[in-house]
Structure 1
Amino acid sequence: MILRFGYVSTALHLWESTPAHTLTFTNWKKLSKDEREDKLKRVTAQNIENTKRAIYYNIAQGIHVYRLSSSIVPLATHPEVLWDYITPFRDKFKEIGDLIHQYGLRVSFHPNQYTVFTSPNDRVTGNAVKDMEYHYEMLKMMGVHKQANMNIHVGGVYGDKETALERFHQNIEQLDPKVKTQVTLENDDKTYTSRETLDVCRAHSLCFVFDYHHFWANPWEEDELEALLPEIYATWDHNDYPPKFHLSSPKSEKEYRAHAEYVDLDFALPFIKSLVKYGKDADIMIEAKLKDKAMLQLVEEISKLRGYKRIDGAVIRV
């Protein structure tokens, strides 16, 4: 079986590489009309360039799984800004997409924690729809909108989990079917467990992104990982890629939900061994604070274990 590893957004091995430079709405308001447009374009151009640098780095390092930054375009969905980022940057996004296609990379987005479909506030739901459309538009400009996923959490509880879940089932249908098709759901560390998230995924034919750290912090008392794996994999049956998993380790015993800088091998091994026992390929997104540095260190550590052979920069054959 093949295990491919990836990282989130910023390649820390590169100098000044963040693809998430921003322009706040407060600072935007202080500028003149011409200055606003110029600043938005300059920041976006820098973020796109750094995204392309990360893609080239991934190709050179044998890293096949990568999460794109959600902040490439500043103020893209702000109701008082709503600027045209498509016309000036369509070709630049296509360049990135061409590289993704040429080298067979797997990319995704993870919209922020405010993109939820369980809120009783219609405005929150409306903003979530806009945010998902923004992410989909970027994928579409790259030409990867039929293969890349946008991963979100189920959302908040608002004092009544059952009612919140009913709202999710209703509100998610506000998405254009083409957008909804690319949505994946992830279990979280406080509210919706793996079992609950899996049930929502099945109800909407969505793929389930299993987060091991969240599973550990917020377990469903009757579930064990090995028993869940067949159900997790089944949600990806209609997809061309293997299931995607998230992996990080606790920052400390007290801050057990926070992500550590690196991934502790002892914490990760039960998860890795469960995947190996199941015997099917998997892609694993490392969510440690030190991003590609942490991912490459973990791959190096795993490759030293008996039966695990490193066949590319971030790929292990078991």
Structure 2
Amino acid sequence: MTIVRLGYVAMSVHLQNCSPSQTMTFAQFQKIKDREAAIKKLERIAVSNLQNCLRLLKHNKAHDIRFFRLSSRIIPLANHEELADWDYIEPLRETLREIAGFLKEYPMRIDFHPDHFVLLNSPEPEILKISLKTLLMHEELLKGMNIDSKHRCVLHVGGGYNDKEQALEQFIHNWGYVPNRLQQMVMLENDDVTFTLQNTLYLCEKLAIPLVFDLHHHLANYENEDWKPDWERIVATWKHSPLPLKMHISSPRNEKDFRAHSDFVDAQMFMKFLNEIKGTVEHIDCMIEAKQKDEALFRLVEDLKHYSEIEFVDGARFYVH
């Protein structure tokens, strides 16, 4: 028997005017002649984004959802070189404290998936530097919400740079330049184009990083289509984590556009996976990556109720027998 907790990504299709990713481009910033006024506008956008995150967390509570990925675009231009002197966290502290208070009353697994430009295996020192600055921003947000930052940021391995083996070794080389507290934040995910499950396991086992298994990515990009022989190795990468094993679930849009995410999750495909792994772990957290966000979660819950081996605990958690 295994308990499964469902989560979804960043925003709701049900809540109106609740984007956590409102933005401002640097071109727009430059058009405001008064720099101080431009920064104040940036701060208002960031505060609004964070307040919308709190609305989303309250929405999750109403539906028993205790697993959620926050947007990584809460603070526009946070790492822009022209704004290096901007203390972007200070204006957010009050709202961050509100979120911390809410999460104390309603504990929830919160994490991030920083954007694709965070490349820890880049051979370019400047790109690595910006990537570390981005991780520092995520650490500041987690600290402000009073969340232990260990294993809260999912990353892809990075770029292939026309030599995948060298790119893997570059990751190991660069890892030495990542401060220990930022290393502790990182989880790695197998991707759908370059780094397979086996490639990612190589790094995770060597560097003691938890592996977030993405089944859809694996089916799009694999060395061995059958992931089951490697399942115990995936589980073992979590042995040093205070958090339960995490995976991503999504379904292909169609056979032609296989890598793209569908609006919803194919319950039959998900059940096939669950029946393979039930009993091998006590608890698994499944992050739904679907275009319809929370509606995809609600739809999946309704679909799963038709399976006799599923026993729901509440609106977003169930046992699989």
Q: Given the two structures, how large is their TM-score scaled by the length of structure 2?
A: 0.95
SS at match of 1:192: coil
SS at match of 1:101: helix
Contact kept in structure 2, 1:136 and 1:145, CA below 8 Å: no
SS at match of 2:154: strand
- What is the Cα deviation at residue 268 of structure 1? 2.3
1:245 paired residue number? 247
Give CA deviations for 1:258-300 in whole Å, capped at 9, x if unaligned.
0011112233232222222535310000000111100121122
Report the residue type matching 1:81 in the other structure.
Answer: L
Contact kept in structure 1, 2:151 and 2:187, CA below 8 Å: no
- What is the Cα deviation at residue 225 of structure 1? 2.5
1:103 paired residue number? 106
1:22 paired residue number? 23
Q: What is the count of residue pairs matched by the alignment?
A: 317
Say if 2:203 is the partner of 1:200. yes
Q: Matched residues in 1 for 2:151 and 2:97: separation? A: 14
2:48 paired residue number? 46
- Residue among 69, 73, 76 paired with 2:75: 73
Give CA deviations for 1:195-226 in whole Å, capped at 9, x if unaligned.
110110111111110001001111122x6232
Identity across the alignment (%)? 37
Q: Matched residues in 2 for 1:253 and 1:277: separation? A: 31
Report the residue type matching 2:3 in the other structure.
Answer: I
2:66 paired residue number? 64
2:3 paired residue number? 2
Report the residue type matching 1:236 in the other structure.
Answer: W
Residues 78, 145 of structure 1: alpha-carbon distance in 2 compared, 3 angstrom cutoff: farther
Q: Matched residues in 1 for 2:269 and 2:25: separation? A: 38
Contact kept in structure 1, 2:120 and 2:157, CA below 8 Å: yes
Say if 2:307 is the partner of 1:305. yes
- What is the Cα deviation at residue 148 of structure 1? 5.2
Q: How does 1:153-168 map to 2 (within 5 A)?
A: 153-168=156-171
Q: Which runs of 5+ in 2 are unaligned?
A: none
2:140 paired residue number? 137
Contact kept in structure 2, 1:244 and 1:283, CA below 8 Å: yes
Residues 233, 169 of structure 1: alpha-carbon distance in 2 compared, 3 angstrom cutoff: same
Contact kept in structure 2, 1:3 and 1:316, CA below 8 Å: yes
Q: Matched residues in 2 for 1:42 and 1:130: separation? A: 22
- What is the Cα deviation at residue 128 of structure 1? 0.8
Contact kept in structure 1, 2:304 and 2:310, CA below 8 Å: yes
Query: In angstroms, what is the RMSD of aligned CA positions?
Result: 1.4
Q: How does 1:244-263 map to 2 (within 5 A)?
A: 244-263=246-265
SS at match of 2:7: strand
Q: Given the two structures, how large is their TM-score scaled by the length of structure 1?
A: 0.96
